[in-house]
Amino acid sequence: MNAGERAFVKSREQAPAPENRPKQMGQGTLAAEALTRRAQCLHGTSDMAAIIRQNPNRPALPDFRNMGTVLRILVTVNLGAAVVAYARAPQLSATFIEWVEATSFVEPYLLLVLAVLWAAAPRLSRLPYSVGAGLVAAITVFSGLALFAAMNRLSPMPPGALTNWMVYGLISAGVLLFYFHLRARALSPAITEARLQALQARIRPHFLFNSINAVLSLVRSNPKRAEVALEDMAELFRVLMRDNRDLTPLEDEVELCRQYLDLEQLRLGDRLTVDWNVKSMPADALVPPLMLQPLLENAVYHGIEPSSTPGTVSINLFLSRGEVHAILKNPYRTAGGNHHSGNKMALANVRERLALHFDAEASLESRVTKDAYEVHIRIPYRTQAANSATGVPTVTGPMPGRDDDSRDASARIAMPEAARA
Amino acid sequence: MPDSPLRVLIVDDEAPARRRLRDLLDDCASALPLAIIGEAQHGREALELLQSAPADLVLTDIHMPDMDGVELARHLLKLPHPPVVIFTTAFHEHAVQAFELNAVDYLMKPIRVQRLLSALHKIPRLKPVTAEKLAQLPTTARRFLSVTERSRVVLVPVEDVVYLKAELKYITIRTSQREYLLEESLTRLETEFGARFVRVHRNCLAARDHIRGFERRVNDDGDAHWEVLLAGVPETLPVSRRQQFVVRDMGRETAA
């Protein structure tokens, strides 16, 4: 089976699974079973057994440069300090004093450790997990020693303070590492899911058949245009059916969107005007594949199709203070009844995938202005070059084992169930 | 009719889809005499066209701006000689199920010439689908109400309707301009349009958007009741005792 066929099988596997599959265990498990059965048919049972035994959850350290990670550490340690303060206070009223006292050493210590981890993050991420975790513990201990020495020189510390520091520091580090490990394990099937979701974000069948119909109408009168349209469709479906787990350069996504909108233009003619503002876009920025296309499809479906008067879809991509911004606008049509129901799903899909890839550093907001519907995406500016230089993974969780042999496809199909089992 | 050519109207909002159908109908013309009387981009245009140039068959897309295919079919039934309607659809799982259930004819896009031809051959034996069956199809509320006046179909945009009042056999449609007579059931209209209208009386639905306020009136016998004040029309509508909660609910809405 070649790659194309595999992709097609995968996309068809999607069909029986309802949209809300990831959330609902009952249906989700059923769908996963169906996938497994299908995979068994395709690859034979012996192969399957090996795949299920595979453990895709290689433990990995969190990305210490991700704002989400940093925020989680800050909140956890400070909560811990509050709990300790409460426990140590003889009565409730003294808790605050204890807490202030605790923070006077907790905060500088915490910030120092975070700073060191930030600096060491690219190197740490390349080490095996156990070595990395050991190094994090070592960083905790040595930062504590250094800070204690410095502060002791300024004002002498009470006896036994150093031991307390070490104990609290190491307990916090241990608890947090365990937490991030669990979180990564919880997210790892989700990352696989991100690929499946990208497939779910795929083009509406309505669009496929209407486009084929439009191409058919051109075959007799304008064969040249029909050729281009078919090439655009092939290109579009190639992207829709491939493994969409990895980030892709923004310019590729833009090219895909152009092809998509060309096809829509063919159907809708003068009714659709596209306004591209991409001159200052960071072409090399890495984005989740199919980040913009489903939103543009929405823009056309909800903003252009319900009206016979022409409308403009505008795309604005730019870089601002280390962040990539994408602003998509389309006319807002209140009339049209059920035409709006599918909108939320595509938005939720893109939002969820942004969260999986970038955690708290990305956002998607939508709003209705006077007569336009606007979606604003904000993601951190990351490039292929920067990633390979520093080795910072582009996802916050661990990447499941990636090998490109032929069983890889079925391994991924089986993964949701294996992860749940 | 076998002698005269089959008169066909094409309705689709996408130009390529119309051209494709035209090509296919041309292919069929050798096997079956037919004449394409025109093309329309949406239901409203089709209805206008058909008032002056009658057709035997309307091939219509379902999803269209301004007026969709199903609504068009419902209005066409009011014509003196309603044409047969065949729906064309690219993909609409649920609609297709409903079509099968109600034996409504449809063709899937892209349409094959053989399928089209066999559908055309059936036309002389086909009768227009009934309004009941059309109402079963999964469709949104109509955008227009249609009334027949001097054998012409007149469309009344639903948003222009101030109130609907059942009187004897008919329903009076009141817009700020004038009144129309409609032969439908008030209960069905209430279900179809849901929140747009509110029932203020057993025989009357008032458009929420046109309600200006309520006024307490005491008649000669000393009984008090509420009257609905409406924007755009001078007359007021009495609120029945059973529907008095409407005054309270809407009063709260406006206060909030």
Residue B13 forms contact with A (CB below 8 Å): yes
Q: Which residues, in sequence order, are bridge partners of residue B40?
A: B11
Closest CA to A112 of A163, A55, A150, A63: A150
- Over residues A25-83, the pLDDT tens digits come to 333 334 444 444 443 333 333 333 333 333 444 667 888 888 888 898 899 888 888 88
Residue B225 near chain A (CB below 8 Å): no
Closest CA to B202 of B161, B230, B244: B244
State the pLDDT at residue A223. Answer: 93
Distance, in Å, from the CA atom of A329 to the CA atom of A275, rounded to the nearest integer, reads 10
Give the pLDDT band (50/70/90) at residue A335: low
Strand locations in A214-292, DSSP E?
248-249, 272-277, 286-287
Task: Say if CB B183 and CB B190 are below 8 A apart.
Answer: no
List the beta bridge partners of residue B58. Answer: B9, B85
User: Distance between CA atoms of B129 and B142, rounded to whole angstroms?
Assistant: 17
Structural domains in chain A plus CATH codes: 3-54 (no CATH), 67-186 (no CATH), 203-394 (3.30.565.10)
* Band (A387; pLDDT cuts 50, 70, 90): low
Is pLDDT larger for residue A374 or for residue A396? A374
CB pairs under 8 A between A and B: 63
Number of helices followed by number of strands (H, E) in chain B: 8, 15
CB atoms within 10 A of CB B235: 11
Mean pLDDT of A366-382: 91
Q: Which residues of A touch B61 (CB under 8 A)?
A: none
Residue A264: its pLDDT value, please? Answer: 92
Task: Judge residue B109's burial from the number of C-beta atoms within 10 Å of its C-beta, 0-12 exposed, 13-18 middle, 19 or more buried.
Answer: buried
Task: Give the pLDDT confidence of A74-129 residue by residue, as tens digits.
Answer: 998 888 888 888 888 888 888 888 888 888 888 888 888 889 988 888 888 788 88
- Alpha helices per DSSP H over B109-231: 113-122, 131-136, 186-193
d(CA B133, CA B124): 20
> What is the distance between the alpha carbons of residues A326 and A375, in angstroms, rounded to a whole number?
8
In this structure, are strands B34-40 and B6-11 parallel, antiparallel, or unpaired? parallel
What span, in angstroms and rounded, lies between the C-alpha atoms of B73 and B79?
10
What domains are there in chain B, each with its CATH number? 6-136 (3.40.50.2300), 156-255 (2.40.50.1020)
- A138-153, pLDDT tens digit by residue? 888 888 888 888 888 8
Mutate to test the interface with B, among A206, A208, A210, A262 (most CBs of B within 10 A): A210
Mutate to test the interface with B, among A307, A308, A333, A341 (most CBs of B within 10 A): A308
CA–CA min distance A3, chain B (Å): 28
Q: Are β-strands A311-320 and A363-368 bridged in parallel, bridged antiparallel, or unpaired?
A: unpaired
Please give chain B's pLDDT, 256 residues, in tens.
456 899 999 999 999 999 999 999 999 999 999 999 999 999 999 999 999 899 999 999 988 888 988 899 989 988 888 899 998 988 766 667 667 766 678 888 889 999 999 889 888 887 777 777 777 776 678 899 999 888 889 999 999 999 999 988 899 999 999 999 998 889 989 988 888 999 999 999 999 999 998 988 888 888 888 999 999 899 999 999 888 888 888 877 766 5
Task: Give the separation between CA A17 and CA A202, rounded to whole angstroms.
Answer: 14
DSSP one-letter code for B234: S
How far apart, in Å, are the Cα atoms of B14 and each of A214, A305, A420? 8, 10, 46
- Among partner residues B19, B65, B110, which is closest to A209 by beta-carbon distance? B110
CA distance A336 to chain B (A): 8
Confidence of residue A191 (pLDDT cuts 50, 70, 90): low
Q: How far is CA A189 from the centre of its chain?
A: 12
Helix (H) or strand (E) holding B230: strand B224-230
The three-state secondary structure class of A260 is helix
List strand residue ranges (DSSP E) for B41-183, in order: 57-61, 84-89, 106-108, 144-149, 152-157, 161-167, 170-175, 179-182
Calculate how close chain A gets to B88, using CA atoms only, in Å: 11
Confidence of residue A402 (pLDDT cuts 50, 70, 90): very low
- Residue A193 has a pLDDT of 65
What is the CA angle A58-A60-A65, rounded to 5?
150
Please name every residue paired with A319 in a beta bridge, in sequence order, or none if there are none: A324
pLDDT interval class at A399 (50, 70, 90): very low
Using the 8-state DSSP alphabet, how is residue A245 labeled? -
Does residue A20 have a pLDDT over 50? Answer: no
Contact A165, A327 (CB under 8 A): no
**Chain A interface test: which of B10, B11, B13, B116 (most A C-beta within 10 Å):** B13
The rounded distance, in Å, linking the Cα atoms of B156 and B145 is 5
Closest partner residue to A216 among B63, B66, B110, by Cβ?
Answer: B110
Q: Which residue has the higher pLDDT, B187 or A412?
A: B187
**B53: closest CA of chain A, how far (Å):** 23
Q: Say yes or no for a CB contact (<8 Å) between A305 and B65.
A: yes
B238 Cα to chain A: minimum distance (Å): 31
Residue that is written with structure tokens 């004819």 in the block: B105
Please indicate whether residue A398 or residue A229 has the higher confidence score (pLDDT): A229
Q: The tokens of A96 are what?
A: 């605050």
Instruction: Tell me the residue length of chain B.
Output: 256
Q: Strand, coil or helix: what is A60?
A: coil
For residue B95, what pLDDT is reported? 67
Q: Extract the tokens encoding A206.
A: 């309505």
What are residue B155's DSSP bridge partners?
B146
Count CB-CB contacts under 10 A for residue A297.
23
Give the helix ranges, DSSP H, for chain B. Answer: 15-29, 43-52, 69-76, 93-102, 113-122, 131-136, 186-193, 245-255
